[in-house]
Amino acid sequence: MSPPGTVRIVDDIAAAFADVVIDSFAARLEAGFTLVLSGGPTARLCYERLADQGAALIDWRVVDVLMGDERCVDADDPDANQRLVRQALLDRVGDLATFHPMSCDAVDDYDRLLAWIPALDLVHLGLGPDGHTASLFPDSTGLDAPAGRMAVLNTDPSGGNPHRRMTVTLGAIRRARRVVFTVAGESKRAIWSQVSSDADVPATRVRAGEVLWLVDRAAAGV
Ligand code: 6PG
């Protein structure tokens, strides 16, 4: 058994992630490119590398950046995903087409925005030790969003992940042309072993045009 999608074991998660974004940008189907980003320490490493590696290869002026999830905190709070994305990537790459940070006060606006965008070229997702992805936690109400709903507020019923959250839904992710998961570090070995047996956790419910799992050797245990 394996999780839905393709698994690639890599030496350097950040470099592999940057390569995937650069390749996806080069192969884009339209003039613009829609990129949905995530939070967490792995994302920070990946975005810093993307800023460097993609400098000459991505025309950021045609890229629309959206968020896959956000913590309901101030925009400049150290826990805010938008702060991470600005620091690690946006502040380093110059002008973008657009950036759409999530605001927990405007979930319906984000829902409409996502529904209006014809296709998401690339969605970056992480894997939490409990199997969560974006802010879709095990047994959370966000997993049961009505069909057609693209963004919701959500909380972790176990209390393990702090803050109320805003997140894209599985239905929104399904509209992605490509999803790339990054799974890094020894702390992910146990959950990766479950995910790679296709255990039922939020991350293994993700479907999209293409799903690619980048897993580093520490997480994969090889
Ligand atoms: C967040 C996320 C979350 C993250 C995972 C994995 O806001 O924290 O978007 O889903 O991607 O927790 O994060 P790491 O790979 O950095 O551990």
Q: What is the DSSP string of 174-196?
A: HTEEEEEEEE-SGGGHHHHHHHT
Query: What are 34's strand-pairing partners?
Result: 64
Q: Mean pLDDT over all residues of the chain? A: 97
Q: Which atom of ligand 1 is nearest to the CA of 184?
A: 15
| CB 132, CB 161: distance < 8 Å | yes
Query: What are 211's strand-pairing partners?
Result: 179
Q: In what order do the strands lie in the sheet with 165-168?
A: 69-71, 165-168, 151-154
- pLDDT exceeding 70 applies to what percent of the chain? 99
* CA–centroid distance, residue 108 to ligand 1 (Å): 23
Ligand 1 neighbour 39 (Cβ under 6 A): yes
Distance CA 126, CA 135 (A): 10
Distance CA 32, CA 66 (A): 13
What count of other Cβ atoms lies within 10 Å of the Cβ of residue 202?
A: 24
Q: Is residue 116 scored above 70 in pLDDT? A: yes
SS3 164: coil
* CA–centroid distance, residue 38 to ligand 1 (Å): 7
State the pLDDT confidence band at 101, using cuts at 50, 70 and 90.
very high
- pLDDT exceeding 90 applies to what percent of the chain? 97
Distance CA 166, CA 180 (A): 20
Q: Which atom of ligand 1 is nearest to the CA of 183?
A: 15
Nearest to 202 by CA among 159, 160, 151, 156: 156
- Whose C-alpha lies nearest to ligand 1, atom 12? 128
State the pLDDT confidence band at 3, using cuts at 50, 70 and 90.
confident
Ligand 1 neighbour 41 (Cβ under 6 A): yes
Which whole number is the average pLDDT over 54-72? 97
* CA–centroid distance, residue 135 to ligand 1 (Å): 8
Q: How do strand 120-126 and strand 211-216 relate by DSSP bridges?
A: unpaired
Ligand 1 neighbour 72 (Cβ under 6 A): no
- In tens, the pLDDT along 27-47 reads 999 999 999 999 999 999 999
- In tens, the pLDDT along 130-179 reads 999 999 999 999 999 999 999 999 999 999 999 999 999 999 999 999 99
- Whose C-alpha lies nearest to ligand 1, atom 3? 134
Distance CA 218, CA 161 (A): 23
* CA–centroid distance, residue 98 to ligand 1 (Å): 23
Ligand 1 neighbour 202 (Cβ under 6 A): no
Distance CA 195, CA 180 (A): 15
Ligand 1 neighbour 162 (Cβ under 6 A): no
* CA–centroid distance, residue 169 to ligand 1 (Å): 15
